[in-house]
Structure 1
Amino acid sequence: MTDDTMARRPRLLLPAVPLHIIQRGNNRNPCFAEEADYLVYLSLLQQYAAAAACQIHAYVLMTNHVHLLLSSGSANGPSVLMRRLGQHYVQYFNRRYQRTGTLWEGRFRSSLVDHERYLLVCQRYIELNPVRARMVSEPGQYRWSSFRANALGEDDPLITPHIVYEGLGRHDAERRCTYRCLFEETLSDHMLEQIRYAGNSNSPLGPESFVVETSRSLGMAPRRKYNRQPVVVGKNLPDKVL
């Protein structure tokens, strides 16, 4: 099955279930060229997330693509957000750089995320993108992500912590400390492949029970889940924070 075929699948969206969104520049071309571009995108994201009743838990803006982890009280909230955000950012970008045509690579891709065991894994995956791309050696060195807010307490009006993150400690300092500890353990190659497969195929990210439950809620046959080997959880941390 090709990526194009997978991209045409009906999008899986459920109220209150976290969603990992990926949007890439057309032909992998840059969608951010200067500092002002990142700032405009984040400003628009904040504006339209609020209007669409979406809560942003994590994000990273890479040179030619974007990752978001969000929740919404309505099933169509994420689609409304991404449509408005995409349209207005493209208008800004084309005007600024005197260009025409599309900026994004078709529809955004997404996967529903099981919050009990996969939400913080997905959050780490997102915030570690600049490290995997060898742009920085530590996630806190990258300016255009949510890591500084989630791990270091830097003020970021975009971020609304998920209840799973809130459960990491009794107060903000304890939660941030526990969250930073998660980054001491490397995400396995299998986990990276599982997250990428789910995002590229619009499939749920979670255990088989989550895949079946979400598909049943939408009246659809369960999507085939990437399952080459069992997920290996952390050795020294409670399951709920992985």
Structure 2
Amino acid sequence: MFAVVESAAATILDKLTAGDFRLSSEECEIFCMFLSLGWSRVPRFRTDLEESATFLMNTYNEDLASDPDKFARTVAKFESESGTHLGDWEEMRRAILEKRVEVVASPEMSLKMMILSFEFLAQVIAAMKWSFRTTESISPFVTSDAPVVLNNPSMLDGESPPTPAALEVTFPITPELLFVATWDGHAGAGSMRPRLARQINKLIALSAHQYVYSSTEIPAITKYSSEPRKSLIDRTLLIRISKHSGDE
């Protein structure tokens, strides 16, 4: 299925590159699926998902193990429902707290999540307001091995939850053409100022898994590419999710 989507999208990309942004409903559907693949089918998505799931599971286990009575009740319930004997509960609890054992998310888990998120994200993009922005030759758009970027400026460290309405989806079609989807249409239209184009390039570079591609040499991209990558999934939110789950 993925190969079929990518093949069909090639014609649409040629059409957009030529400056024809009038897509039929079928072309829009294919383009949305293509963008969804561009986000979820790349190594960055699966790596971040596996690392975040591992972090969440171990954070939850450590929080649970810090309460001996609750840990014992949870293990007893699991053994009763599954018919599986886990051994010495107290030794297991100490091993978790001393970080002698760790739960690791499997590649199979991230593959399953990739498939599950594919259709959902395509539907989200289809419901958003689209814009195609151009840039001047002095500030061409870059691309990367994770070309579709989901950016939410409201996802900052802190207690405030992210604002779904702030979500932005960007995808550089060519060095001169950028696709942008927002909920409120704030992306605008027409030519993009060089300063904003540089900000978009920084976002793309910071979202890359390993490689950034540019039609011209841009010194700042080298700097951005060397900076630590921030996970696609905010871990402060995962900690709050873990604590909430532990209270149930």
The TM-score, its normalising length taken from structure 2, stands at: 0.23
The TM-score, its normalising length taken from structure 1, stands at: 0.23
Larger radius of gyration: 2
> Normalized per residue, which structure has more helix?
2
